[in-house]
Chains A and B, each alone.
Chain A
């Protein structure tokens, strides 16, 4: 069964450092998303990406964040200068026809900023 894969599973970084979280969406999907879940809180939407550009982003997705699809398979989330409050599980998701069809989620990357 096709799946969304994320690497690494756990990333520890020092405050102020840049991190790149990587995702390989399902191959024939067109819509890509990043979500995050701070420990004990709800899953929050960050950004959606379609046709090689951001289609929607939340208030959380400020100038520190960027996304890229550098080739035909990878979808990355970059945080330029990490803060302690960026510590969370980051989930990548993809869907074939938009979020109003089922979105398939990856296993997540646990980001710990120290």
Chain B
């Protein structure tokens, strides 16, 4: 049962354009969402997060949008740069304040083309 879904295994975007990565979830108990970036042979690196009480969080070139009614979140990267090429994982956690493990999506491989 995939509680966090990233339906696009890969995405190719031209350098300088906007990259939009999508994520859907099914568990309504999730209340905190995170995006991780992963390069080959490295562990996931935290990128940006959003609490369910917000619908947008921005950090430099990265913005995460949350649509709770649709159980959908997206990560926007603008402008996209070659170093952004990596696998991006959407992750979610349950009721805040605990030590719940993260539930990850399968990842989207973002390829930034020059």
Are A98 and B44 in touch, CB under 8 angstroms?
A: no
Q: Which of B55-90 contact A (CB under 8 A)?
A: 89
List A contacts of B43 (CB < 8 A). Answer: 4, 91, 93, 105-108
Are A107 and B32 in touch, CB under 8 angstroms?
A: no
List B contacts of A102 (CB < 8 A). Answer: 34, 46, 49
The count of residues in chain B whose C-beta lies closer than 8 Å to any C-beta of chain A is 26
Q: Whole-angstrom distance from the CB of B19 to the nearest CB of chain A? A: 20
- Closest residue to A47 on the B side, CB-wise? B101
Are A99 and B99 in touch, CB under 8 angstroms?
A: yes
Among the listed stretches A11-19, A37-45, A62-70, A74-82, which one makes contact with chain B, having 4 or more residues with CB under 8 Å of it?
A: A37-45
Q: Whole-angstrom distance from the CB of B29 to the nearest CB of chain A? A: 12
Are B49 and A31 in touch, CB under 8 angstroms?
A: no
The CA of A105 and the CA of B100, in the complex, are separated in Å by 15
Are A45 and B103 in touch, CB under 8 angstroms?
A: yes
Flag whether A71 is at the interface (Cβ < 8 A).
no
Residues of B at the A interface (CB closer than 8 Å) are 31-32, 34, 36, 41-46, 49, 89, 91, 93, 96-107
